[in-house]
Structure 1
Amino acid sequence: MMPRRSSTLDADGAATTAYAFVYFTETPNQSGASYGLHLAVSRDGLHWSPLNQNQPVTTPTSGQQGLRDPFVHRKQDGTFVVAATDLKGLDLGRNSQYLHIWDSADLASFTGYRHVRMHTMNTHTWAPTIFWDAGRRRYGIAYSAAGGGRDVLMVNYTGDFRTVSTPQVLFDPGFPVLDGDIVVDGGTTYLFYKNLADGNTYGARSPTGAPGSFTTYTTGLRQGNAMEAPLLVKRNDGTGWWLWGDGFSLVGNELHAWAGSSVDGSAWTLLNQRDYTPPLNAKHGSIVGITDAEYDAMTARWGLPAWTRLKSWNFPDRYVRHYNGSIRLDAYPFDPHQDQLWRTVPGLAGSGGVSFESINRPGHYLRRSGVQTRLDPDDGTAAFRADATFIRSTGLADPGGTSLRSYNLPTHYLRHSGYVLRLDPLGATLNSTDRHDATFRFVS
C-alpha cells in the first residue's frame, strides 16, 4: 500500500494487515528518555507492542547525535524512508538546518544514514512529514521553521531524499503553527497542524498540495491544556481514520486517540483510553501500514516485549505498579516507569495459574499478604508460592478484560480500592463497581 494515501495494498499488491509506529521516548523526570529511533507494532492499530525491549533500533551519528519527531513514509517503490528532527534532549533553543534520514526495505534494518541540509536560515528544522506530490512527481518534506518572525511550515522537494530543492513556505495562516502531518487521500492533500496561538490542533486541505493552497476546515481539537504532534492514520480495513495527538495534562504529556469516519469531515470522537495503548513512553512519532511479511520480519529481528503491563479497566490511564513494596494503581506516565513492568510466568504454585515477577526487582513477585498485596522476594516456601499465584479468568466487567482470582484464597479476586490493590471476596451479588475494580487489560 501507499499507507499515507487511499490504498490498502503495498507496492507489490500485498494487503497491509498491521501497523508500525516510529517514535522517541521521554518520561517526566527524563529517566526513560531515549533520543534514538524506536519501533512498535500493532495488529489493530490501537494497542502497541514496543520492539527491541523499547530500546532504539538505530541512533544518529551526525549533528546533535540524537533525534526527535521521527516520521516514516512508504515510498512509491514500496520501501520506506525515515526522517527525523536533529535534536537531542530538551534544549529546544539549539537550531539545526538538517534532518536525519534513513532508508529501509522492511523496517527490520536501516541503511544509507545521512544528514541532509534543508535550508541556510538561523532557525530550527522540526517535525518532518513526507508526502507524495503527484503533480511534481516528487516527494515533499515539510517541517516547522521560524520565518518572518513566526513559526510556519516549510517544504523542500526531492526524488531521492539526498538532494533537496530550495525551501518554500508551504503553510503560513498568519499565526504561528507547528507539527504538520500531511496525507494525500482521494486526490486531496490534508494537513493537520498545531496552532501555537491557542494550543489546538486543526485540519487544513488543498486540491493540489501546492505551497500556499491550504485552507483550514475543522474546528480545534485538544486534550488537556493543549495538543500537538497530530498524526493521521487511515485504517487498513478502509472503515475510517484515527487521529493521534500529544495532549498535555497534570501528569505530563500523553498520547490520545480520536476516531473519524472520514478525514474530509470535521467530526472526531475521542476514544476511551481503555480502547488503545500507546507504545511505552512514546513521544511524537508516526504510523504506517505494514504487511504480514513486514510484521513478521520486524518482530523476528527486534523481538516483542519481555514484559506485561496491567491496565485498570475503569481507570484506564492507571497501571498496576509496585511502590516501596506496596502494589497500587498510578496514572501514567510516572517514574521509575519500570515499576509497572511485570514478567508473567507460570504460577509458582502450579502451572494452571500465573505469577507476576517485577522486571526491575528480579526475584520479587506480586503476592497477597492477608487480603493486602505486596512485592516481596521469593523465599522458596510453599506458602509464598501459593500467595504469589493467581488464576486468570474472563473479565468480570467485560469479556475483553481479565480478572485474577487468588490461588489459595479462591473466593477472592484482585481489585483496586482507593487505587491500592487488595483481595476481596466477589460473589454472585457483585455490583458494577466491584466488577470494574477487579477487571484489567494485559497490555505491552
Structure 2
Amino acid sequence: MPVLLSRLAAIFVAACLLFTSQVLTTPQRAAAADPGYLMVHFTGEGSTNQQMYLSHSTDGLHWNDLNGGGMVLRSTVGTRGVRDPALVRSPDGSKYWIIATDLCIGCGQSWGDSQTNGSRNLVVWESTDLATWSAPRLLNVAGAIPDGRNAWAPEAIWNPATNDYVLYWATNATLNGVLKHRIYYARTTDFRTITTPQLYIDRPGTQGIIDTQIIETPSGVGNYRYVRASGDGQITLEGSNSILGTWTNLGNLSGIGLTGSQVEGPMWMKFNGSNKWALYLDQYATSGGYMPVLTTDPSNPGAYQRQASGSYNMGGTKKRHGWIMNLTAAEESRVLARWPNTAANRLQSYNFQDRYVRHTNFDVRIDQNVSTSQDSQFRLRTGLAGSGTVSFESVNFPGYFLRQNNFDFQLAYNDGTTQFAQDATFRQVAGLADATWSSFQSYNHPDRYIRHYSYQLRLDPITNATGRSDATFGVRR
C-alpha cells in the first residue's frame, strides 16, 4: 500500500508539473471584457521608423498594430528622431509621459557620431488621458555629467521611498580613465526638472551597459521587491529591496541560450490576474524583433522559458526597444478610440485631377506628383468637434490636422482646445460640382467650404461654378 501511494503521489506531482509548465508556456488569452496591454515602440532605422508607434494585445503574446501600423507621435525637436521609449503612468493615473532617446540613425547622424557627440537630451511627451499628447519637448539629462557624450534608453519608475520618479538612462562618459556607457539616474516629479545626475550602474573594467529596466514584484514572489534586467554582454538579472539601494547579481539568461550578443532592450510585462511575467527581448543581432521569455519568478534565472515561435505574434510591424503598460478598461477604451486602423487617403482636386491636397512646411496646397509622398496622405478621423463630421489628420505628422486660421489653411498640432477642434472639423457633403465627389463644409463657419485658390487651400463662401469646382474633391486611397 505505501508503495502504491508513493507511485500515485509521484504521478500526481508529475501531472502538476506538466500542467504548470503548459500554463507558463502558453498563458490563457484574457477574456474579451478584460483590459489588455499597450506597447509603445519604434520600428527600425530612418526618419519614419524612428518615431513613436503603438500596439495592443488582449493576452500579452499576440499583438495588433494600432493606427494602421502608422506612427502615432513624431518628434519635431532635437534630432527629429526617437528610439527606446518608456511609457510612465503617475501613481494616481492622472498623468502619463513618454520619454525617449533623441536619436535618428541614418538621417543625419551615424552610430559613431551618436556615441561620441550625441544628443544629451531626452524627448518627452505628456498626456492626461493616453489619447491626446502635448507637443514634444527636450529634457537635458546628460549635460551635467562630466564628459557626458549622449543620453540613451531612458526608463523611469516611481519610488515610494522618496515620493518621486527615479529617471535612469545610459550615457557614454569617461570615468577613472575608462570611456564607456554607464547607467546614470536623477530624480524628478514632472520630467521637466531633475536633480543632479548620479552614477547608478557601472560594470567592471571596460564592460559597458546601455539597456536596463526595473520591475516591482509582489510580496511572496522571489526574495526581492525589485528586479532589473540589463543588457551588458549578458542579459543580467539583479534584485533589490530598494530602487536606490544595493543590488544583488542573480545570474543571467545564458542558461537558455540568450546572451547580450544576441538580444537587447529588455522589456517587462506582467500578465493580468496571475503571477506570471514575460521578459521581451529584442533579437537585434538577427534583426528578428522582439521575442518573449516567460517566468513565474523574475528573480530566478532558472525559471525562464523560451517560447516556440508559433506561440506568440508581434503583429505587422517590427517592434524595437519599448515599454509595455497594463491598461485599465477606461484607458483601453480611450486608446482604441483614438488610434483605430483608419485608412490613409488623399484628396484629389476635381478640376485639376492631377493635383492632390498636400502640406509643405505646414502650409497646405494642391500639388502634382505627390503619389509617393506622405505629405499628401491624411486619415479622415471622426471630427474633433463632434460625431457626424470629419477631421483630417496627417499620416506623417500624427497629431497635426488641417486647420483653418483666418480662413487660410495650415497643418497644425492639436492643442486640445475647443477652438482648435471647431477650426479643424468639417461636414462631408455631396460634391458641389459633382454629387459623386465630396465637398467639406466648415463646422464653425457653415457658409464656407474648403476650396483651392491659386493652388492654395482656403475656406471660402462658394458663389459660382468656378468656386463649386474648386471646392469639390475625391477621397482616394
What TM-score does the superposition give when structure 1 sets the normalisation length?
0.60
Q: Supply the distance in 2 between the matched residues of 1:33 and 1:59 (Cα, whole angstroms).
A: 8
Note if contact 2:263-2:285 (Cα within 8 Å) is conserved in structure 1.
no
Asked if the contact 2:237/2:299 (under 8 Å) is kept, the reply is no
In 2 relative to 1, CA 69–16 (structure 1 residues): closer, same or farther, beyond 3 Å? farther
Pairwise CA distance, 1:172: 1.1
CA deviations on 1:188-239 (whole Å, 9 max, x unpaired) are: 22221111xx3x211112221116x222202234548511000111111223
Structure 2 residue aligned with 1:21, among 6, 27, 39? 39
2:332 is paired with a residue whose SS is: helix
Q: Kindly indicate whether structure 1 or structure 2 has the higher relative contact order, using CA contacts under 8 Å at least 6 residues apart.
A: 1
Over the aligned positions, Cα root-mean-square deviation in angstroms equals: 2.3
CA contact (8 A) 1:53 1:303 kept: yes
Give distance in 1, aligned partners of 2:34 and 2:190. 24
CA deviation after TM superposition for structure 1 residue 33, in Å: 5.2
Match for 1:101 among 107, 124, 129?
124
Which secondary structure state, in structure 1, belongs to the residue aligned with residue 251 of structure 2?
Answer: coil
Residue number in structure 2 paired with 1:119: 142
The one of 59, 62, 69 aligned to 1:47:
62
The structure with more strand, counted as a fraction of residues? 1
Which of 253, 256, 263 matches 1:220? 253
String of CA shifts for 1:292-328, please: whole Å, max 9, x gaps: 2222221211113879xxxxxxxxxxxxxxxxxxxxx
Q: Name stretches of at least 5 consecutive residues in structure 2 with no aligned partner.
A: 1-32, 219-223, 345-477
Equivalent residues of 2:47, 2:104 under 8 A apart: no
- Unaligned segments of structure 1, at least 5 residues: 1-14, 308-444
Contact 1:223 1:247 in 2 (8 A): no
1:179 aligned onto 2:208:
no
Q: Could you tell me how far apart the structure 2 residues matched to 1:107 and 1:277 are?
A: 24
Aligned to 1:37: 52
Residue in structure 2 matched with residue 70 of structure 1 by the alignment:
85
3-state SS in 2 of match to 1:44? coil
Q: Does the CA-based 8 Å contact 2:46-2:105 persist in structure 1?
A: no
Runs ≥4 in structure 1, deviation > 6 angstroms? none
Count of aligned residue pairs for this structure pair: 285
For 1:43 and 1:210, locate their aligned partners in 2 and report how far apart those are by CA, in whole Å: 34
Report the residue type matching 1:70 in the other structure. P
Structure 2 partner of 1:353: none
Q: 1:247 aligns with which of 261, 278, 283?
A: 283
Distance 1:146 1:31, change over 3 A: closer
Counterpart residue type for residue 173 of structure 1: R
Paired residues for 1:261-410 under 5 Å: 261-266=296-301, 267-279=303-315, 280-304=317-341
- The aligned counterpart of 2:194 is 164
- Counterpart pick for 2:229 among 180, 192, 202: 192
Q: 1:31 to 1:178 in 2, by over 3 A?
A: closer
State the 1:45 CA deviation: 0.8
Contact 1:16 1:290 (C-alpha < 8 Å) held by counterparts: no
The change in CA–CA distance for 1:134 and 1:271 in structure 2 (over 3 A counts) is same
Once residues 216 and 241 of structure 2 are traced to their aligned partners in structure 1, the CA distance between those partners, rounded to angstroms, is: 10
Letter in 1 for 2:298: V
Match of 2:367 in 1: none
Counterpart residue number, 1:143: 169
Q: CA deviation at 1:16?
A: 7.0
Cα distance, 1:185 vs structure 2 = 2.5
The 1-side partners of 2:240 and 2:199 are apart by: 15
- Residue 150 of structure 2 aligns to which amino acid in structure 1? H
| Aligned residue number for residue 444 of structure 2 | none
Aligned residue number for residue 370 of structure 2: none
More helix by share: 2
Q: Is the 8 A contact 1:18 1:42 kept in 2?
A: yes
CA 44–68 in structure 1, closer or farther in 2 if over 3 Å, else same: same
Which of residues 76, 88, 91 is equivalent to 2:104?
88
Shift of 1:89: 2.2
Contact 1:23–1:285 (Cα < 8 Å) also in 2: yes
Cα deviation, residue 173, structure 1: 2.7
In 1, are the aligned partners of 2:158 and 2:164 still within 8 Å (CA)? yes
Asked whether the equivalents of residues 122 and 141 of structure 2 are also in contact (C-alpha less than 8 Å), the reply is yes
**Aligned to 2:336, what secondary structure does the other structure show?**
helix
Q: Does the CA-based 8 Å contact 1:119-1:166 persist in structure 2?
A: no
CA deviation map 1:128-184 (0-9, x unaligned): 111111111110111111232221111011011110010011111313112111122
Identity of aligned residues (%): 26
Q: Is the 8 A contact 1:141 1:155 kept in 2?
A: yes
CA gap 1:146/1:215 in 2 versus in 1, 3 angstroms: farther
Call closer, same or farther: CA 1:85–1:235 in 2, change over 3 Å. same
